[in-house]
Amino acid sequence: MADQERYMITSALPYANGPIHLGHLAGAYLPGDIFARYCRLKQRDVVYICGSDEHGVPIMLRARAEGISPQEVVDRYHAMIKESFEKVGMSFDYYGRTSSPVHHQTSRDFFEHLAEKDIFVRKTDKQLYDPEAGMFLADRFVRGTCPKCGYEDAYGDQCERCGTSLSPADLINPRSAITNARPVEKETTHWYLPLADFQPKLEAWINAHPEWRPNVLGQIQSWFRDGLKDRAVTRDLPWGVALPEAVARAAGVDASGKVLYVWFDAPIGYISATREWAAQQGDPDLWKRYWQDPQSKLVHFIGKDNIVFHCLIFPAMLMAHGDYVLPLNVPSNEFLNLEGNKFSTSRNYAVWLNEYLEKFDPDSLRYTLASNMPETRDADFSWNDFQARHNNELADILGNFVNRTFTFISKYYDGAVPARGALDALDQEMIEQIARAAVEVGEQLDAFRFKEATRRFMDLARFANKYFNDQEPWKTRKSAPEKCATTLNLCAQAARSLAVLMSPFLPFGARKLWQMLQLSGTPEAATWEGIADLQLPAGHRLGKLEILYSKIDDAVIAEEVQRLKQALSGANGAAEAAEVEHISIDEFKKIQLKTARVIAAEAIPKAKKLLKLQIELGTEKRQLVAGLAEHYRPEDLVGKTVIVVANLQPAVIRGVESQGMLLAVEDGGKLIVITPEQPAASGKPVA
C-alpha cells in the first residue's frame, strides 16, 4: 500500500432541496465516478466521497412553504438523491450528509482552529431584523416591491420577475417573509474570512497549475483581477452548524442564533464524510492519510457555478488551517443544456434522474453524457442523440460484437473458447489494439478528458467488430479451421478486455458481460494492466448469451420529446397569458397619472440604487424615492417634467418616505425616465 498513488476524490455535495437532474449528473457526478472507478482498476489507493448539503436558506424557505421542518425537507431529498445515485451506479465509498453530528463537530473544530489562529476579522453592521419572529432576516427572507418593475413579491436579493439583483434596502414596502412584519435594522456582528490577505498565496498556488482546464483558470483569473474581498462566514439563521460558543465568548458576542455560513461548512462536508468512512473501516484516524498526508492527491469534481468556492474560498480555508493538502486539480464542467434550452427546475423543464431510471438503462445515460460531456464548453442533451448513441453504438457496435462472438462460439465450439493457433498480421493488430486502448483511455482519463476517453474505448469495440468481419470466420470455419479458432479466441479475449475497459463508463453492462463470460468476481475487481493480457484459457466455457443492450424504439423517444415540449410551451403559454391579461377602463382610471416637475434630487446614503426626489405637482410638493441612481446623476433630473402615479399608497424606503412613483422605461437594463414630448405644466392629468 505504501508506494501506491493515493487519491482523495470528491463530487460536489448536491443541495438537498430537490431531486437530481441530468445537468447535475453530467457536471459533477459522472466524471467523478468514471475517474474513481478507473483509479481503482489502476490499483490506486482511492477514497471517493460525496454527500448531501443540508443547510442554508433555500431549504428553510422550502420547509416554510410546505409547513414542515428543515430536517424533514433534507431527510426527504437526501434519501431520494442517495437512491438515484446508487441506481445510476455512483461508486462513492461514502455518501454523507451535513446534518450529521460528526459534520457539525468537524466544522466547529475547523472554525475554532481558524479563530485560535486569529485568521478571521469581525465586523459589526446593521441588518434587517423581524421583531415579531425575533430573528435576523437573510436577504431571501425579505420580500417587497421591486423598485425597477413594481413586482410586489420580489426577494431581498433579486426580483424574480425582471431579474434585477437587489439588496433588501432597495425594496419598496419591505416585509418579512416569515411574519409579514416590517423589518427593522439591528446591529449584528459577523466573522469574515479575509480573502484579500490570501490572494498572493492563492495566486502563487494557482500559477503552479497551468495544466488546469482553461475555463477554470479563466474564471479564477477574473476573480483575481477584481481583487478578492472579505467573505462573511457566519450568518444569523436558525438552521445550520452553530457558531462555537468559545469563539463567540472570546469575542464578547452572543452566539445564540448564529451559524456558520453554508459555504463555509459544505466543503468541510468532504472531510467529515471521510471521517465517517474511516470510522466505518474501524480506523478512525484513516481519513488523515487522504486529507493531511502531502502524498495524497485531492481532486474536486464540480460544476462551473462552484469554481469560486473550490478554487479560492475552500483552499484559503485549508491554507489558513495549515494541516491539509490543497487540491491537485478541480476539473469543473460547464453547463449541460436540454434540447437547446436551459434546464429550468421551476418550469419542470428537466429530465429528473429518478424518473429517467424508472424507464431506461443507467448505462445508456452514462454513455450519452460521457460522450458529450460539457468539459470546456456548454453541451446539449437531446433525446434523439441519446437514442442514436444507444442504438448505433451501445447496441450496434459493442452489443453486436459480443452477440456474434457468443453466438458463433456457442454454435460451432459448443460454448468453449477455442485454442489460438499461429497469428496473422490482423490477429497481431487485434492484440495490439487491445493494449493500445488500455493505455490511451487511461491517458485521457488521467488528463480528465472524458469525452475523448469514451470515444477511444468505443473505438476498440468498433475495431473488434471489424476484425470479426475481416477474418470471415463463417468462411474459414471450413476452409481454415485453425485460423477460425484463432479468430474466435481473440474475439473472446477482446470481449473480456472490453468488460474491464468499459466498466468505469458502463458498470452495469460490464458486469452483465462478465457474468456471460462466466468469470468469477466482478470486472471492478480486475486490473487495468490486465486488460492487455489475453486471460481466457482455451476451453473456458462461456455462459448463456444475453442481449447486452436492446434497442430503444422511436415511439418511446417521441414521448419524452413531447413531454419536454409541453413543459416548455405550458410555461411560455402561462407567461404570455399573464402579459395580455386585460383590465377594464375603470380599473385603469383608478390610477392617477400626473405630470410633475423635479425640483431637487439627491443620493440616499448607503442605498446605491436610490435617489430622493422633491417634486412639484401643481401647487403641491412631494417627495419620491426612485431607483434611478445607477442611471441618472441627481443634477440631470432637476428641472425635468416627469410622469408619476399620484395616488400610490405612500411607503417608507430605506427610512425615507416616498409619496408616489415615477414612470420610466426599461430598455436593455437601462432606465429611461418618461417625459412629455412637449413642455407641459406640472400636476396635469395624463389621459
Using the minimum distance from each CB to Zn ion, give the nearer residue, 47 or 610.
Answer: 610
Least distance from Zn ion to the Cβ atom of residue 156, Å: 12
CB of 573 to Zn ion, least distance (A): 22
Q: In terms of Cα–Cα distance, which of 257, 239, 265, 266 is closest to 63?
A: 239
Of 151 and 343, which CB lies nearer to Zn ion in the complex structure?
151
Beta bridge partners of 193: 231
The CB-of-149 to Zn ion minimum distance in angstroms stands at 3
Q: Dump the DSSP string for 453-516.
A: HHHHHHHHHHHHHHHHHHH-HHHHHHH-HHHHHHHHHHHHHHHHHHHHHHTTT-HHHHHHHHHH
Which of 161-169, 288-296, 568-576, 669-677 is the region at the interface with Zn ion (rule: CB under 5 A)? 161-169
Minimum CB distance to Zn ion smaller for 483 or for 609: 609
Q: Which stretch binds Zn ion (CB under 5 A): 157-165, 309-317, 357-365, 408-416?
A: 157-165
Q: Measured from the CB atom, is 145 or 234 closer to Zn ion?
A: 145
Segment interacting with Zn ion, rule: CB under 5 A, options 131-139, 153-161, 424-432, 551-559: 153-161
- Would you tell me the crossing angle of helices 450-471 and 425-446 to the nearest 10 degrees? 170
End-to-end Cα separation, the chain, in angstroms = 85
* C-alpha–C-alpha distance, residues 546 and 398, integer Å: 13
- The smaller minimum CB distance to Zn ion, of residues 155 and 632, is found at 155
146 scored as a contact of Zn ion (CB under 5 A) = yes
Half-sphere exposure (CA, 13 Å, Cβ side) for 446?
11
Judged by CB under 5 A, does residue 671 bind Zn ion? no
Smallest separation, CB 129 to Zn ion (Å): 24
Cβ at position 143, least distance to Zn ion in Å: 12
Which residue lies nearer to Zn ion by CB, 161 or 182? 161
User: Quick one: which H or E segment has residue 127?
Assistant: strand 121-130
Query: Based on CB atoms, which residue is closest to Zn ion, 20 or 146?
Result: 146
- 349 grid coordinates: 423543464
Between CA 217 and CA 213 the distance in angstroms is: 6
CB of 235 to Zn ion, least distance (A): 25
Among the listed ranges 149-157, 227-235, 448-456, 505-513, the one in contact with Zn ion (CB under 5 A) is: 149-157
Using CB under 5 A, which of the segments 49-57, 142-150, 292-300, 426-434 binds Zn ion? 142-150
148 binds Zn ion (CB under 5 A): yes
- CA distances for 446 relative to 37, 38, 64, 557, angstroms: 12, 9, 45, 35
What is the CA angle 247-248-250, rounded to 5?
A: 65
Among 102, 133, 135, 149, binds Zn ion (CB under 5 A): 149
The least distance separating Zn ion from the CB of residue 160, rounded to whole angstroms, comes to: 8
**Does residue 151 bind Zn ion (CB under 5 A)?**
yes
The sign one gets for the Cα dihedral 342, 345, 349, 352 is positive
CB 145, min distance to Zn ion, A: 9
Beta bridge partner(s), residue 653: 656
Q: Kindly provide the b/e burial profile for residues 141-176, where b requires at least 16 CB atoms within 10 angstroms of the residue's own CB.
A: bbbbbbbbeebeebbbbbbeeeebebbbbbbbebbb
Nearest to Zn ion of 151, 263 (CB atom): 151
| Beta carbon nearer to Zn ion, 162 or 680 | 162
**Least separation, in Å, of the C-beta of 551 and Zn ion?**
49
Q: Total residues at the site for Zn ion (CB under 5 A)?
A: 7
Contact track, Zn ion, 411-440, x by CB under 5 A: ------------------------------
C-beta closer to Zn ion: residue 162 or 286: 162
Least distance from Zn ion to the Cβ atom of residue 147, Å: 8
Q: Which stretch binds Zn ion (CB under 5 A): 148-156, 305-313, 401-409, 604-612?
A: 148-156
Cα–Cα distances (Å) from 209 to 173, 202, 437, 629, in that order, read 50, 11, 28, 42
Out of 159, 248, 313, 500, which residue is the one contacting Zn ion (CB under 5 A)?
Answer: 159
Residue 78 makes contact with Zn ion by CB under 5 A: no
Query: Is 653 a binder of Zn ion (CB under 5 A)?
Result: no
Candidates 74, 62, 76, 63; CA nearest to 99 is 74
Does 325 contact Zn ion by CB under 5 A?
Answer: no
Going by C-beta distance under 8 Å and a sequence separation of 6 or more, which residues neighbour residue 622? 596, 614, 615, 616, 659, 660
Residue 62, C-beta contacts closer than 8 angstroms, at least 6 positions apart:
17, 73
> What is the spatial distance between Cα 309 and Cα 266, in angstroms, rounded to a whole number?
10
What minimum distance in Å lies between the beta carbon of 163 and Zn ion? Answer: 7
Smallest distance from the beta carbon of 568 to Zn ion, in angstroms? 23
Could you tell me which of 598, 591, 600 has the C-alpha nearest to residue 648? Answer: 591
Measure the CA dihedral 670/675/677/678, to 10°: -150
Exposure of 369 by Cβ count < 10 A (0-12 exposed, 13-18 middle, 19+ buried)?
buried
**Strand order from edge to edge, sheet including 154-155:** 154-155, 142-145, 172-176
Query: Closer to Zn ion at the Cβ: 579 or 677?
Result: 579
Helix (H) or strand (E) holding 380: strand 379-381
Residue 143 touches Zn ion, criterion: CB under 5 A: no
Q: Per CB under 5 A, does 162 bind Zn ion?
A: yes
Question: Minimum distance between the CB of residue 195 and Zn ion, rounded to whole angstroms?
Answer: 31
Please name the helix (run of DSSP H) or strand (run of DSSP E) that holds residue 262, with its range, or none. helix 262-280
Binding mask 111-130 for Zn ion (x = CB under 5 A): --------------------
Pick between residue 294 and residue 668 the one whose CB is nearest to Zn ion.
668
In the complex, the smallest distance separating the C-beta of residue 57 from Zn ion, rounded to whole angstroms, is: 20
Catalog residues that contact Zn ion under the rule CB under 5 A: 146, 148-149, 151, 159, 161-162
